[in-house]
Chain A
Amino acid sequence: DQQVKQNSPSLSVQEGRISILNCDYTNSMFDYFLWYKKYPAEGPTFLISISSIKDKNEDGRFTVFLNKSAKHLSLHIVPSQPGDSAVYFCAASTPPGYALNFGKGTSLLVTP
Protein backbone atom coordinates (compact mmCIF):
# COMPACT_ATOMS: atom_id res chain seq x y z
CA ASP A 1 0.00 0.00 0.00
CA GLN A 2 1.58 3.24 -1.19
CA GLN A 3 1.58 5.66 1.75
CA VAL A 4 3.33 8.42 -0.18
CA LYS A 5 1.89 9.32 -3.56
CA GLN A 6 3.17 11.48 -6.35
CA ASN A 7 0.28 11.54 -8.75
CA SER A 8 2.03 13.32 -11.59
CA PRO A 9 4.55 11.03 -13.27
CA SER A 10 5.92 13.88 -15.33
CA LEU A 11 5.98 17.66 -15.54
CA SER A 12 7.32 20.00 -18.21
CA VAL A 13 8.17 23.62 -17.41
CA GLN A 14 9.85 26.42 -19.32
CA GLU A 15 13.17 27.74 -18.09
CA GLY A 16 12.71 30.66 -15.72
CA ARG A 17 9.20 29.67 -14.69
CA ILE A 18 8.10 28.01 -11.45
CA SER A 19 8.05 24.22 -11.12
CA ILE A 20 5.61 22.83 -8.58
CA LEU A 21 5.89 19.17 -7.65
CA ASN A 22 3.22 17.68 -5.45
CA CYS A 23 3.12 14.86 -2.97
CA ASP A 24 0.31 13.38 -0.84
CA TYR A 25 0.58 11.01 2.08
CA THR A 26 -1.88 8.88 3.97
CA ASN A 27 -0.09 8.08 7.24
CA SER A 28 -0.78 10.78 9.83
CA MET A 29 2.17 9.49 11.89
CA PHE A 30 4.67 10.80 9.36
CA ASP A 31 6.49 13.72 10.87
CA TYR A 32 9.48 14.27 8.63
CA PHE A 33 9.44 14.85 4.91
CA LEU A 34 12.18 15.00 2.35
CA TRP A 35 12.69 15.63 -1.33
CA TYR A 36 15.38 13.89 -3.37
CA LYS A 37 16.54 14.52 -6.89
CA LYS A 38 17.76 11.74 -9.14
CA TYR A 39 19.66 11.95 -12.41
CA PRO A 40 19.89 8.90 -14.70
CA ALA A 41 22.57 6.38 -13.69
CA GLU A 42 23.06 8.10 -10.33
CA GLY A 43 21.62 7.54 -6.88
CA PRO A 44 19.14 10.04 -5.43
CA THR A 45 20.59 13.12 -3.77
CA PHE A 46 18.99 14.86 -0.82
CA LEU A 47 17.48 18.20 -1.73
CA ILE A 48 15.46 19.66 1.11
CA SER A 49 13.48 18.53 4.13
CA ILE A 50 10.77 19.77 6.46
CA SER A 51 9.56 18.61 9.83
CA SER A 52 5.92 18.54 10.76
CA ILE A 53 6.30 21.44 13.16
CA LYS A 54 6.92 23.75 10.21
CA ASP A 55 4.83 24.60 7.19
CA LYS A 56 7.59 25.98 5.00
CA ASN A 57 11.30 25.53 4.47
CA GLU A 58 13.47 27.37 1.96
CA ASP A 59 16.87 26.68 0.52
CA GLY A 60 17.85 28.93 -2.32
CA ARG A 61 15.61 28.29 -5.30
CA PHE A 62 13.88 25.40 -3.53
CA THR A 63 10.98 25.76 -1.13
CA VAL A 64 8.96 22.98 0.42
CA PHE A 65 5.47 23.63 1.77
CA LEU A 66 3.66 21.30 4.14
CA ASN A 67 -0.10 21.24 4.70
CA LYS A 68 -0.63 18.72 7.50
CA SER A 69 -4.39 18.96 7.54
CA ALA A 70 -4.49 18.05 3.86
CA LYS A 71 -1.59 15.60 4.18
CA HIS A 72 0.02 17.33 1.28
CA LEU A 73 3.41 18.76 0.52
CA SER A 74 4.84 20.50 -2.47
CA LEU A 75 8.23 21.47 -3.79
CA HIS A 76 8.58 24.79 -5.57
CA ILE A 77 11.57 25.52 -7.76
CA VAL A 78 11.95 29.16 -8.75
CA PRO A 79 13.30 29.94 -11.25
CA SER A 80 13.53 26.59 -12.97
CA GLN A 81 16.73 25.82 -14.85
CA PRO A 82 17.49 23.13 -17.44
CA GLY A 83 19.86 21.48 -14.94
CA ASP A 84 16.86 20.86 -12.70
CA SER A 85 15.60 18.26 -15.17
CA ALA A 86 15.58 15.05 -13.16
CA VAL A 87 13.27 12.71 -11.31
CA TYR A 88 12.12 14.09 -7.97
CA PHE A 89 11.13 11.78 -5.13
CA CYS A 90 9.12 12.75 -2.11
CA ALA A 91 9.77 10.73 1.06
CA ALA A 92 8.32 10.62 4.54
CA SER A 93 9.31 9.01 7.83
CA THR A 94 8.11 8.47 11.36
CA PRO A 95 10.23 8.49 14.54
CA PRO A 96 12.25 6.97 16.10
CA GLY A 97 13.97 5.34 13.16
CA TYR A 98 13.75 6.73 9.73
CA ALA A 99 12.62 3.99 7.38
CA LEU A 100 11.82 6.27 4.48
CA ASN A 101 8.63 5.81 2.53
CA PHE A 102 9.06 7.10 -0.99
CA GLY A 103 6.68 8.18 -3.68
CA LYS A 104 7.16 6.83 -7.19
CA GLY A 105 8.72 10.05 -8.42
CA THR A 106 7.91 12.87 -10.81
CA SER A 107 10.07 13.40 -13.87
CA LEU A 108 10.67 17.11 -14.35
CA LEU A 109 11.76 18.47 -17.71
CA VAL A 110 12.81 22.10 -17.88
CA THR A 111 12.93 23.33 -21.45
CA PRO A 112 14.98 26.32 -22.64
Chain B
Amino acid sequence: KAGVTQTPRYLIKTRGQQVTLSCSPISGHRSVSWYQQTPGQGLQFLFEYFSETQRNKGNFPGRFSGRQFSNSRSEMNVSTLELGDSALYLCASSLTAGDPDTQYFGPGTRLTVL
Protein backbone atom coordinates (compact mmCIF):
# COMPACT_ATOMS: atom_id res chain seq x y z
CA LYS B 1 0.00 0.00 0.00
CA ALA B 2 1.45 3.38 -0.97
CA GLY B 3 2.19 5.76 1.87
CA VAL B 4 1.37 9.41 2.24
CA THR B 5 2.88 11.42 -0.57
CA GLN B 6 3.69 15.09 -0.50
CA THR B 7 4.62 17.31 -3.39
CA PRO B 8 6.84 19.04 -3.98
CA ARG B 9 9.51 17.76 -1.63
CA TYR B 10 11.52 20.97 -1.75
CA LEU B 11 10.50 24.50 -2.55
CA ILE B 12 12.22 27.86 -2.54
CA LYS B 13 10.17 31.03 -2.54
CA THR B 14 10.75 34.69 -1.81
CA ARG B 15 9.04 36.89 0.74
CA GLY B 16 5.61 38.05 -0.29
CA GLN B 17 4.94 35.16 -2.64
CA GLN B 18 2.37 32.49 -2.03
CA VAL B 19 2.79 28.74 -2.09
CA THR B 20 0.57 25.67 -2.40
CA LEU B 21 1.60 22.30 -1.02
CA SER B 22 -0.11 19.05 -1.86
CA CYS B 23 -0.75 15.90 0.12
CA SER B 24 -2.15 12.59 -1.10
CA PRO B 25 -3.28 10.38 1.78
CA ILE B 26 -3.06 6.62 1.99
CA SER B 27 -5.81 5.03 -0.04
CA GLY B 28 -8.97 4.80 2.06
CA HIS B 29 -7.86 7.40 4.58
CA ARG B 30 -10.30 10.26 4.89
CA SER B 31 -8.61 12.45 7.47
CA VAL B 32 -5.65 14.68 6.63
CA SER B 33 -3.75 16.84 9.09
CA TRP B 34 -1.00 19.35 8.47
CA TYR B 35 1.90 20.24 10.73
CA GLN B 36 4.74 22.73 10.61
CA GLN B 37 8.14 21.73 11.95
CA THR B 38 10.76 24.35 12.76
CA PRO B 39 13.90 24.09 14.91
CA GLY B 40 12.62 26.73 17.31
CA GLN B 41 9.02 25.63 17.76
CA GLY B 42 9.18 21.93 16.98
CA LEU B 43 6.10 20.30 15.46
CA GLN B 44 3.00 22.46 15.49
CA PHE B 45 -0.49 21.49 14.38
CA LEU B 46 -1.89 23.57 11.53
CA PHE B 47 -5.26 22.04 10.68
CA GLU B 48 -7.16 18.84 10.12
CA TYR B 49 -9.62 17.97 7.39
CA PHE B 50 -12.11 15.16 7.31
CA SER B 51 -14.58 14.58 4.48
CA GLU B 52 -13.71 17.95 2.94
CA THR B 53 -14.47 19.82 6.17
CA GLN B 54 -11.98 21.49 8.46
CA ARG B 55 -12.40 19.91 11.90
CA ASN B 56 -9.61 21.54 13.83
CA LYS B 57 -7.34 24.49 13.40
CA GLY B 58 -4.13 25.34 15.20
CA ASN B 59 -2.94 28.74 16.28
CA PHE B 60 -1.67 30.08 12.97
CA PRO B 61 -2.51 33.31 11.15
CA GLY B 62 -5.09 33.42 8.39
CA ARG B 63 -2.30 33.40 5.79
CA PHE B 64 -2.30 29.65 6.31
CA SER B 65 -5.26 27.92 4.74
CA GLY B 66 -6.13 24.51 3.43
CA ARG B 67 -8.72 22.45 1.73
CA GLN B 68 -9.58 18.85 1.06
CA PHE B 69 -11.01 17.42 -2.11
CA SER B 70 -13.60 14.69 -2.56
CA ASN B 71 -10.83 12.13 -3.17
CA SER B 72 -9.34 13.10 0.25
CA ARG B 73 -6.31 14.77 -1.29
CA SER B 74 -5.47 17.96 0.51
CA GLU B 75 -3.70 21.19 -0.24
CA MET B 76 -2.40 23.86 2.03
CA ASN B 77 -1.72 27.39 0.96
CA VAL B 78 0.43 30.04 2.54
CA SER B 79 0.00 33.56 1.24
CA THR B 80 2.32 36.55 1.65
CA LEU B 81 5.24 34.40 2.71
CA GLU B 82 7.48 35.53 5.53
CA LEU B 83 11.00 34.40 6.36
CA GLY B 84 9.65 32.67 9.45
CA ASP B 85 7.51 30.40 7.29
CA SER B 86 10.63 28.48 6.31
CA ALA B 87 9.95 25.04 7.71
CA LEU B 88 9.25 21.42 7.03
CA TYR B 89 5.54 20.99 6.37
CA LEU B 90 4.25 17.55 7.22
CA CYS B 91 1.01 15.98 6.22
CA ALA B 92 -0.51 13.02 8.01
CA SER B 93 -3.47 10.86 7.10
CA SER B 94 -5.64 8.52 9.10
CA LEU B 95 -8.68 6.38 8.46
CA THR B 96 -11.00 8.51 10.51
CA ALA B 97 -10.81 11.75 12.38
CA GLY B 98 -9.73 11.74 15.99
CA ASP B 99 -7.60 8.62 15.65
CA PRO B 100 -3.96 9.56 16.21
CA ASP B 101 -2.77 5.97 16.63
CA THR B 102 -3.49 5.32 12.98
CA GLN B 103 -1.98 8.55 11.76
CA TYR B 104 0.69 8.10 9.10
CA PHE B 105 2.99 10.94 8.17
CA GLY B 106 4.39 11.81 4.79
CA PRO B 107 8.04 12.77 4.29
CA GLY B 108 7.24 16.47 4.26
CA THR B 109 7.81 19.46 2.02
CA ARG B 110 10.83 21.57 2.88
CA LEU B 111 9.93 25.22 2.24
CA THR B 112 12.64 27.84 2.21
CA VAL B 113 11.64 31.50 2.08
CA LEU B 114 14.35 33.92 0.98
Contact = CB atoms under 8 A, between A and B. Distances in A.
A99 B45 CA distance: 6
B45 A42 contact: no
Interface in B10-50: 33, 35, 41-45, 48
A2 B91 CA distance: 21
Given A41-B107, A43-B4, A43-B106, A49 B101 contact: yes
A45 to B, nearest CB: 7
B42 A104 contact: yes
B55 interface: yes
A104 B38 CA distance: 9
B103 interface: yes
Interface in B57-71: 58
Contact of B43 (A42, A96, A102): A102
A42 B107 CA distance: 4
Measured as residues with beta carbon below 8 angstroms from the partner, the interface class of chain B is 20 to 34
Interface string B77-114: 00000000000001110000111111111111000000
Contacts of A34: 100-101
Interface of B: 4, 33, 35, 41-45, 48, 55-56, 58, 90-92, 97-108
28 contacts: A2-B41, A32-B100, A34-B100, A41-B107, A42-B107, A43-B4, A43-B91, A43-B104, A43-B106, A44-B43, A44-B105, A46-B100, A93-B100, A95-B98, A96-B98, A97-B48, A97-B97, A97-B98, A98-B48, A98-B56, A99-B58, A100-B33, A100-B45, A100-B100, A101-B45, A102-B35, A102-B43, A104-B42
